[in-house]
Structure formats: C-alpha cells, structure tokens
A and B are shown apart, each in its own frame.
Chain A
Amino acid sequence: MKTFNYHSTKDVKEATKLASSSSAFLAGGMTTLPSMKLGLASYKDIIDIKRIKKLSGIKVSGKTVTIGATTKHAEVAHSKEVKKAIPSLAALAEGIGDPQVRNRGTIGGSIANNDPSADYPSACIALNATIHTNNRKVSADKFFTGMFETSLKKGELIEAVEFQVPEKSCYKKYPNPASRYAIVGVYVAKHKSAVNVAVTGAKSCVYNDQNISGALSKSFSSSALDNVKISSSGMNSDVHASADYRANMVKIFAKKAVEAC
C-alpha cells in the first residue's frame, strides 16, 4: 500500500473541503481498502467520514424510509422500523457479504461504488429512492450511470438514501458461489402507480427491466412472466455464468420474488 494522508472529519463541510481529485471518502472501506492494499488504487488523501454524526441513522415516516450514508448493513438488517416498513430491504441488508462486511460496510459506500453485482443499487431502483447529497437530491434512476459509475461529482458526498415504502416487495438473489455477490439479483416492488423490477449482477449496471415490470403491472403474478422473453444481449458473461444463463436466471428469480411477495 502506498502512503497517504489520513483525515478524520466531524462534519460534512470539512470533509468536502478536503476532497480533491486524488482523495477518497472512507466509510466502511470494504472496497476502498482492499483496492489500496492490492495496489489497484492509491490516494493522496483519505477522508474518513465515519465520525460525522448526521450521516448515520434510520428515519421511518409513513411513506419513506431514510437511511444515513454511513449506516451499516447490520443496522439496517436488524432495524425493527425497517423490518416493519420494508421487510425486503432489511432482508437484503442481511444477505450482503458476511458478518464482518455487514458490521463495517455502509449503504452510502455501497451505492457510491456501484459495483455491478452489489445488492443495494437494486433496492434504490426498485424502491424509487432519492439520493441526498451535500448539495442536491438525485433520483435513483439518474444516479447509477454505468459500471462503478454514478452521477456523483468530485467531492460530492452522499448524506442519505430515501426509499419509498411499496405496497409489497421482495428481493431474490442468486449468489456467485465464490464471492457470494449476485450473479443475478432481482428486486420486485409493487407501488400504487407501477411495478419496478430492478436487476443487479446481470449487466454492467443495475437496471429496471421494462419487460418484466410491464407484465407484472398488468397482472402481478409469476405466471404473468411465463411468456416474457429476456434477451441475453448486454448481459455479463464470466466463468461462473454465461449471458444466456444469466438471462434465464433473471426470469427465474423475478418469478421467485413475485411468488414470495
């Protein structure tokens, strides 16, 4: 690991002021630190935001669940309020990584990193999330822009993620046997106005599958998907799963999610 300056900050202003083109914010460090150790990334300044109090915590109102950026996966998984308002979101958090990751990793870190197989981005899309940053609010469908890419600007810091409470929802993941990230993960959420079907793991970036959500908007049942065709075009292909297999699993796991709603 290359040497760097470590800053521990207490408020958002101080943190964003320190940010530069060669800095990184550090929350759980679940991706940043291994990348640095492996020599895949190096920074001049590491800005630790874990001590910024306003970035952590869970607020539930009737229609929304708002989770602070540095809230750990384990806190979301074990939150009684989240379990009551959006049980599928708590279940998703409980299924991330392993206990060590869940007790260090944060929601803000996960969505800022936007790993194509991460779980949380699918929740953001399915649950019509709004991402609150230090200077604006961005809707999830405009936030995730590509593989490991988001619409965050340099020095912009996520403060919280606001989820819309759906009528019903379920997240089903087929984990990679090695890494246990999603080979495919499908988050189905039925809102009053529409059904969202967010898919992670299958392509370079999370997306809302219009074919499946369209079919489910007409009839919210797994049999509604029987004749839906999923194209493997643009899907990831690796030693664990071909694009064709992934396409099939998107449908299978969408059905499983609908059945479990």
Chain B
Amino acid sequence: MASLVGSRVERKEDKKLLTGRGKYTADVTFAHQTYAYFVRSPHARAQLKNVDISKAEKASGVVAVLTGKDIANDKIGGLIAGWRIKSEDGSDMKVPAHPPLANESVNYVGDHVAVVIAESLDEARNAAELVKVDYKILKAVVKTDKAMDSESIYKDIPKNLCFDWLLGDRAKTQEAFDKADKIIKIDLINNRLIPNAMEPRAANADYNPSTEEITLYTTSQNPHLARIIISAFNGVAPENKLRVIAPDVGGGFGSKIYPYAEEVVCSWASKKIERPVKWVADRTESFLSDCHGRDHVTHAELAVKNDGTFLGFKNETIANLGAYASVFGTVTPTYLFGPCATGVYKMPAAYSNVKAVFTNTAPVDAYRGAGRPEATYTIETLVEKAARELGMDPAEIRMKNFPTQFPFQQTLVHSVDSGDYNAGLKKAMEVGDYKGFEARKKESESKGKLRGVGFCSYFEACGIAPSAVVMSLGCGIGLWESAEVRFNPTGNVTVFTGSHSHGQGHDTTFAQIAADRLGVPLENIEISHGDTDKGPFGYGTYGSRSLTVGGTAIVKACDKIVAKGKKVAAKMLEVNESDVEFKDGEFIVAKSNQKKTIGEVAFACYLPGTYGEVKSPLPEGEEPGLKETSFFDPGNFSFPAGSHICEVEVDPDTGNTEVVKYTAVDDFGTIINPLIVEGQVHGGLAQGIGQALYENCHYDDTGQLVTASYMDYTMPRADNFPEFNLGFTCTPATSNPLGTKGCGEAGAIAAPPAVMNAVMNAVGTEVSMPATAEKVWKACQKMNKSNSKAA
C-alpha cells in the first residue's frame, strides 16, 4: 500500500465548507432562543458613575438587562492572564482586574458595560440604545512609547508598567559590544494588527435547569481551555456541568485561543434567565474587541566585526498589552519573542529587555506567529542594515553567521535539534534567481520603477510546547496533546484529537497519518474535534502545534491499537504474539502466511466470548473493545526555518509598492500533505505581506479606533500578491516520531522583514512598517528618486 504521508491529498473538509454545509456557531439556534447585544464603551477611558437600565428593561421584547453590578453580585470571576512573568528585579507582573462586565471603569473603546437580552437581535440592539450610562471621561493613554510617561490608568500599577523583563546577560553583552568594530543600530515599530478572521466571534449558551448543565457553542481554537477557564476561574459552572463545543470555526489566527467576556456573560446569563443566549459579533465589534496583535516599539543594536561576524545583540522593546493582560498577552512579547530575537545566527552574547505597558486600547494577544514575527523583523532588518553598512552581500553576511552544527544551542533559550540554514538560503537564491536580479532591476528602471530585493532568514520555536519547560517559565498550563483512536465494530475508525481545526485541514492530514499507521483506507477514518464531551482533554490549536504535538499523540494511540491487535490476532491465529507482524492493515504470520485484517481483529474485540464453534479471540486478561488513548508531551519545541527573498517594484511618483516576486524556501521537516502546507505558507505570506505594506491598526490620540472598518483598515486582497515561488528543504525534527515541524506561522514570520528590506533596498533609505504609498513616496522625495517635480 502506497504511503499517504507525503501525498497531495485534497482536503476532505472542503466540500462541506465550500458548499455552505459547514456548521458554525451562528448556525446554531435553540428552542426558546434569546439574543444578546452588548452595550460597549464609546470612550477609551472613563469612570462608570451610573448605569441606568430602567428604560431598556421595559423596552419591547427585552428579557433581561445585566450589568457589572450583577456579575459582581453573582461572584463571577474576571478574565485571566495565563502566564506569570517576573520582572528583572524579581517582582511579579502587575495586572488589573478584568471583570467580564465593567463595574468601576471602562478602559478601551468597545469595553463591555452591560448586556441586553431580548427575544430578537433587533429588539436587543434597539433596547441597548436606551441604557443610559453616566461616564466621567478621563484622559486616555494611547501610545505605546508614551505609556510609561503618562498618568497611571490603574492606581496600583505605576507607570502603566506590567513588567520589566530581561532575558540574557547585559554585562556579557556589553563586553562583546566593547570589542566590536562597528555597532549597527535600528529603531523600529512593529505595527499593530487586527486579526480579521473571516468568521466573527460568536457564542450560544444553553442552560438546562433540570440537569444544571450548560452547553456552550463558541468560536474557539481551544474549547477545552475555554471550559476550564469558564469553570475554574470565572466560576460559572463546574467542569462536569459545562460542555463546550467549537463546531466549524472560520479562522482564528490566535484571536480565538481563549474565552472572552462574551462567552462568560452568555453562559452566566443563560443560567440566570434559564433560556439559551446567543451573541454573534458584527464586524465593527470584531474590530473593536477581538484581541489585536503585535504593537512593539523596539531599539536594537548589533555588534559586528568588519568581516561581518556577529559579536552581540541588544534588544530594548516596549510592548503594548492594551487595557488588560489577556490570556497569552504576557508571554507573546516575552518568551515567544525574546529568545528568537537573536535570529538564526551564532550570537556570542545577547539580551532582550521588554517593558510591557497598559494603554487604553483593545487587549493585545497572540496573532499568527505571536512574538516570532516581531523578533524576526527586529534581527532581520538589523542584519540587512549591517550588510549595507559593511558593503557585504545580504546573503553572504547571513551565511557567515549561520550555525552549521546541530543540535545548536541558541544564545538565549533554545536548543535547536536540526536544521541546515545554508542549504535553505542557497536554494532560495536558486529558486528566486537571485543572480538575475540586476537584469530585472534594469528592466524595471526602463519603466520608471525602482526595484529592490530583500532577504529574510528565520527560525522559530513552535509546536507549543514541552510542559516542563513552559511551566517552569510561568505558564499556567502544560501544553501536551491528546488523541483517542476508536475502532468501530465494523472496522472503520474515529480519531478524537484535543487540537482543533479552523482552517488547518486536520480532517485530512490527521486521517493520512492514521490511515498509514493502521492500514485503513482514508475514507474510513473520521477526525473528531471541538467538543469537550467527545474525546479526551486537549489544548487546541495555535503555535503551529497540532501536527507535531497532536499528530504524535495520534501516532502513539495508533501504535497502542496495533500492539493490542497483535495479541488478539495471535490468539485468533493460535500462534505466539512474537510471530505476528503488522503491515498495511494486516496481522501476518510470516512463516505460515496466515493473516487477519485489522478490521477482523476489531470486530473480534467487540464480540468476544464463545458462540457455537467460534471461541473467544481475546487473550486472557485482555479487555474487550478496541480503543486507545494517548497523551504526548514533547521533549522540545520544533524549529522550522527558512529563507525568503522578496522583490518589489516602487513607483517613485506615487510611492505605490508592488511585490513582484516572492520566493519562500522553508524547512518544515517531514511534510505530511504538501498541498495543505503550501496553502499554509500562502496564507502566512498574505498576512506577512499585509503587515509590511498594508495593515495598520490606528487609534487617534483620544483612543478612538480610526481603522474600525474595511473602509480604512487595509486588508490585503488577491491582486496585491504575485504568484509565490515555494521551495522546501528537509531536516526532520528529532523531537517527534513524524519528524515534522510547524508550518502555519512561517509566512507571517518571514515576510515582513523580507518585504521591508526589499522596499528599503529600492528607495535607499529607511522606511517604517507598513510601507504605505505616502511613506515610500516621501522616502523617494528625500532620496530624489521621483521622475516628476513635486507640486
């Protein structure tokens, strides 16, 4: 039987998703359904003096109007920060209380003040206009780099500083800098982004008063985590009385990893009114209240020798957490950012210092890449600047500093198990025809365009995460993954995974793995996920973890099935277990060529006992049934790496920048399904190029979100991209039996510096991200590159 691992199997789930037969949270409507509409703060910062619900309560169709006072009276817990970070001085991070409905103050535009629940959405929305809120408006703190010099938003958090964190050795780094021939410095902004999943967030909670159970449908990347948080921290219902279902979910990119105020409020309210409560975000609410991504202000320095050898690296960053510390908000700019900031290089000494600040903006949390794009943007623009200042080719300076021995102990944390960075960069130069760049540049010049080329070599740490490591670093949970492989009596298979698919194609990739391992046809395998009542506890999907961690759990569970199957087959064939081999779905006795298929063995496991002439096939002491569960806790992160080369054309008259050629060569270890992997790379590149050229979340000085719709927030579109040239190299991961490394975030990590380096190469001066037409035009004016005289 040909192996399915490595083949371009078309996605099993696409027929459903592309023909409108998916089932999303908004598609779920219960009998006696009610609808929730949230009253949100129109101000970035204000004291709540009074919330008058008397008129709204009497409005047509209104079932209940609930406020922060009600939620406090019912002792519902606040939203949590999932990762404790300690400051350099050893003190704990400082976080403000985050009640699901505000009680004393509101701290960003979109913050939750009250919820109106009515018989219809229109009635809820109309009644929400009747809730009279008396705000005492306060001066908002908005800008990342000004937050520490502004008035404290929370009285017990001086300078709005959550923590001042250090990774690395300042003194040793300074010693390295003292020996340098040259110090390259850079100041940059990692622009704030809004995730914009295609499906807006939604929740529908149904409390059954007779069983006291809540069933919560929600748009989650991680339903098990939602259940444990809503149970253990918010205290809405005990875990055994809360079932969380994340059905089809239309994209998350990090913004749906954890429960928000709305899920907590809908669950609590359903219990209170004893009717199901449904909320679906409209697009404006998504812009305002989904957790945003990035938002760093960084000063970084690289110490180099004249021959291009790196000696040391300093990274001083201010990270904006928004108004509250979200679940992964504190780890994203620290352990997911700091370690990777030295890039893919031998760096004898380094440190990353991160000051995380609160501002009156939406909370910031993990967004595709989470910390690694910010790290890669820092080091890769710095390295390219070093190459320019030293007069070296950007490829040459990188190769000079690549490690060649693996495992490679990276400067700050990681021990990288495998990789071949030279091979990746060489292949990228070949696939992208780097040699032909000068000729293409001349051709662009003949059309009046400026052409630039930019590189990015990256590695990242994903496959989140070894529990022992992350828990020692302050993570509130272990990040193993589970799988249950269940043979049905008739020989087909259901695989339960604790990870969750919301675009990644698990239904296909995981089925390929199980099909190979069990010798069962692909179409006889179903992948089940997203329901806390089905299958074991798991940790969901983010951080490019599902395949390396969750896929491995499936492999291990399949191996247990085969191990039990061998015993049963031996009994059925009346031979010793050691004589039985398993291959392509059959248990075979080599010397006699007797065999039993895995389907026959499964059937026998479900019908044990003696029936007429048929004797029990179960060996003594063996339990009936054929179902195995496995939990896999990885020994290490996985470390995908690669080199991307971008070419842009700039119109110096308008500053309009077009990506005209993009080459990505990635090492994802063993690839299970190249078709899906290429799709993941394409999606990541779209988001990475989007960040570099288009996307920018902009708050004005009063904390109003200016880019609160697609009229102003520039989502990239298909016509913004060229055909991507993809290539792969392969050094299998040693930390999992499949040899896989995560692929979901690579594009979003590598593209921003590759694109920005190309833009800066084209115009010959620094440009901040996103490189909008006006910024690039101004750079061209400064460098006298325009074809036309200014107006």
Residues of A within 8 A of B (CB): 1-2, 38-39, 174, 177-179, 181, 226-230, 232, 238-242, 245, 247-252, 255
A239 adjacent to B706 (CB under 8 Å): yes
Q: How far is the CA of A226 from the CA of B712 in the complex (A)?
A: 32
Residue in B696, B707, B788 whose CB lies within 8 Å of A255? B788
Q: How far is the CA of A251 from the CA of B778 in the complex (A)?
A: 16
Chain B: minimal CB distance from A214 (Å): 15
Point out the residues of chain A lying under 8 angstroms from B696, CB to CB.
Answer: 239
Q: How far is the CA of A227 from the CA of B122 in the complex (A)?
A: 58
Q: How far is the CA of A177 from the CA of B656 in the complex (A)?
A: 10
Instruction: Tell me which of B93-101, B595-603, B769-777 binds A.
Output: B769-777
B711 adjacent to A178 (CB under 8 Å): yes
B772 adjacent to A240 (CB under 8 Å): yes
Contact with A along B123-155 (1 / 0, CB 8 A): 001100000000000000000000000000000
A179 adjacent to B791 (CB under 8 Å): no
Point out the residues of chain B lying under 8 angstroms from A230, CB to CB.
Answer: 791
B54 lies within 8 A of chain A by Cβ: no
Q: A226-B789, A248-B790 are in contact. Are A178 and B126 (CB under 8 A)?
A: no
A242 adjacent to B774 (CB under 8 Å): yes
Q: A38-B284, A239-B696, A252-B654 are in contact. Are A1 and B774 (CB under 8 A)?
A: no
A239 adjacent to B698 (CB under 8 Å): yes
Residue in B653, B694, B710, B778 whose CB lies within 8 Å of A179? B710
B788 adjacent to A239 (CB under 8 Å): no
Q: A239-B696, A247-B791 are in contact. Are A177 and B773 (CB under 8 A)?
A: yes
Chain B: minimal CB distance from A160 (Å): 30
B710 adjacent to A251 (CB under 8 Å): no
Point out the residues of chain A lying under 8 angstroms from B215, CB to CB.
Answer: none
A239 adjacent to B707 (CB under 8 Å): yes
A1 adjacent to B122 (CB under 8 Å): yes
B715 lies within 8 A of chain A by Cβ: yes
Point out the residues of chain A lying under 8 angstroms from B714, CB to CB.
Answer: 177-178, 240
For window 518-543 of B, CB contacts with A under 8 Å fall at none
Chain A: minimal CB distance from B58 (Å): 18
Q: How far is the CA of A1 from the CA of B123 in the complex (A)?
A: 10
A177 adjacent to B774 (CB under 8 Å): no
Q: Residue on A with the closest CB to B693? A: A177
B712 adjacent to A179 (CB under 8 Å): yes
Point out the residues of chain B lying under 8 angstroms from A251, CB to CB.
Answer: 788, 791
B713 lies within 8 A of chain A by Cβ: yes
B777 adjacent to A245 (CB under 8 Å): yes
Point out the residues of chain A lying under 8 angstroms from B773, CB to CB.
Answer: 177, 241, 245
Q: How far is the CA of A33 from the CA of B25 in the complex (A)?
A: 26
Point out the residues of chain B lying under 8 angstroms from A242, CB to CB.
Answer: 774
Residue in A174, A178, A227, A249 whose CB lies within 8 Å of B710? A178
B284 adjacent to A248 (CB under 8 Å): no
A250 adjacent to B788 (CB under 8 Å): no
Point out the residues of chain B lying under 8 angstroms from A174, CB to CB.
Answer: 654, 656
Contact with A along B685-699 (1 / 0, CB 8 A): 000000000101010
B653 adjacent to A252 (CB under 8 Å): yes
Q: A178-B712, A179-B710, A229-B791 are in contact. Are A2 and B694 (CB under 8 A)?
A: no
Point out the residues of chain B lying under 8 angstroms from A245, CB to CB.
Answer: 773-774, 777-778
Point out the residues of chain B lying under 8 angstroms from A228, CB to CB.
Answer: 791
For window 649-689 of B, CB contacts with A under 8 Å fall at 653-654, 656
Q: How far is the CA of A232 from the CA of B790 in the complex (A)?
A: 12
Chain A: minimal CB distance from B699 (Å): 11
Q: How far is the CA of A242 from the CA of B656 in the complex (A)?
A: 15
Chain B: minimal CB distance from A34 (Å): 10
Chain A: minimal CB distance from B607 (Å): 58
How many residues of chain B get a CB closer than 8 Å to chain A's CBs?
Answer: 27
Contact with A along B750-777 (1 / 0, CB 8 A): 0000000000000000000000111001
Q: How far is the CA of A230 from the CA of B696 in the complex (A)?
A: 29
B712 adjacent to A239 (CB under 8 Å): yes
Q: How far is the CA of A80 from the CA of B125 in the complex (A)?
A: 48
Point out the residues of chain A lying under 8 angstroms from B653, CB to CB.
Answer: 252
Q: How far is the CA of A245 from the CA of B655 in the complex (A)?
A: 10
Q: How far is the CA of A245 from the CA of B790 in the complex (A)?
A: 10
For window 584-636 of B, CB contacts with A under 8 Å fall at none
Q: Residue on B with the closest CB to A117? A: B711
Point out the residues of chain B lying under 8 angstroms from A249, CB to CB.
Answer: 654
B713 adjacent to A178 (CB under 8 Å): yes
| Most B CB within 10 A of own CB, among A174, A179, A229, A250 | A179
Q: How far is the CA of A249 from the CA of B655 in the complex (A)?
A: 10
Chain B: minimal CB distance from A216 (Å): 15
B126 adjacent to A2 (CB under 8 Å): yes
Q: How far is the CA of A81 from the CA of B712 in the complex (A)?
A: 36
Q: A177-B694, A177-B772, A241-B774 are in contact. Are A248 and B791 (CB under 8 A)?
A: yes
Q: Told that A240-B714, A251-B788 touch, could you supply 9 new A-B pairs with CB distance under 8 A?
A: A1-B122, A174-B656, A226-B788, A229-B791, A239-B707, A245-B774, A248-B777, A252-B653, A252-B654
Q: A239-B696, A239-B698 are in contact. Are A252 and B712 (CB under 8 A)?
A: no
B712 adjacent to A240 (CB under 8 Å): yes
Point out the residues of chain A lying under 8 angstroms from B712, CB to CB.
Answer: 178-179, 238-240
Point out the residues of chain A lying under 8 angstroms from B284, CB to CB.
Answer: 38
Q: How far is the CA of A241 from the CA of B791 in the complex (A)?
A: 15
Q: How far is the CA of A181 from the CA of B713 in the complex (A)?
A: 13
Point out the residues of chain B lying under 8 angstroms from A38, CB to CB.
Answer: 284
Q: Residue on B with the closest CB to A181? A: B711
Point out the residues of chain B lying under 8 angstroms from A39, CB to CB.
Answer: 125
3 nearest CB pairs, A to B: A230-B791, A178-B714, A179-B711
Chain B: minimal CB distance from A195 (Å): 18
Q: How far is the CA of A179 from the CA of B708 in the complex (A)?
A: 12
Point out the residues of chain A lying under 8 angstroms from B777, CB to CB.
Answer: 245, 248
Point out the residues of chain A lying under 8 angstroms from B125, CB to CB.
Answer: 39
Q: How far is the CA of A116 from the CA of B656 in the complex (A)?
A: 22
Q: Can you sample 20 A-B contacts with CB below 8 Å? A: A38-B284, A39-B125, A177-B714, A177-B773, A178-B710, A178-B711, A178-B715, A179-B710, A226-B789, A228-B791, A238-B712, A239-B707, A241-B773, A242-B774, A245-B773, A245-B777, A247-B791, A250-B791, A252-B653, A255-B788
Chain B: minimal CB distance from A27 (Å): 21
| Most A CB within 10 A of own CB, among B122, B126, B712, B791 | B791
Q: How far is the CA of A227 from the CA of B788 in the complex (A)?
A: 11
Point out the residues of chain B lying under 8 angstroms from A232, CB to CB.
Answer: 791
Point out the residues of chain A lying under 8 angstroms from B788, CB to CB.
Answer: 226, 251-252, 255
Point out the residues of chain B lying under 8 angstroms from A240, CB to CB.
Answer: 712, 714, 772, 774
| Most B CB within 10 A of own CB, among A38, A174, A239, A251 | A239
Point out the residues of chain A lying under 8 angstroms from B694, CB to CB.
Answer: 177-178
Q: How far is the CA of A255 from the CA of B653 in the complex (A)?
A: 11
Q: How far is the CA of A240 from the CA of B790 in the complex (A)?
A: 19
Point out the residues of chain A lying under 8 angstroms from B791, CB to CB.
Answer: 228-230, 232, 247-248, 250-251
Q: Residue on A with the closest CB to B770? A: A177
For window 58-88 of B, CB contacts with A under 8 Å fall at none
Point out the residues of chain A lying under 8 angstroms from B711, CB to CB.
Answer: 178-179, 181
Point out the residues of chain A lying under 8 angstroms from B715, CB to CB.
Answer: 178
Q: How far is the CA of A247 from the CA of B777 in the complex (A)?
A: 13
Chain A: minimal CB distance from B447 (Å): 14
Q: Residue on A with the closest CB to B790? A: A248
Chain B: minimal CB distance from A1 (Å): 7
For window 709-740 of B, CB contacts with A under 8 Å fall at 710-715
Q: How far is the CA of A39 from the CA of B284 in the complex (A)?
A: 12
Chain A: minimal CB distance from B2 (Å): 43
Q: Residue on B with the closest CB to A241? A: B774
Q: Residue on B with the closest CB to A226? A: B789
Point out the residues of chain B lying under 8 angstroms from A252, CB to CB.
Answer: 653-654, 788
Chain A: minimal CB distance from B351 (Å): 35
Chain A: minimal CB distance from B110 (Å): 15
| Most A CB within 10 A of own CB, among B715, B772, B778, B788 | B788
Q: How far is the CA of A255 from the CA of B696 in the complex (A)?
A: 30
Q: How far is the CA of A29 from the CA of B778 in the complex (A)?
A: 39
Q: How far is the CA of A181 from the CA of B773 in the complex (A)?
A: 15
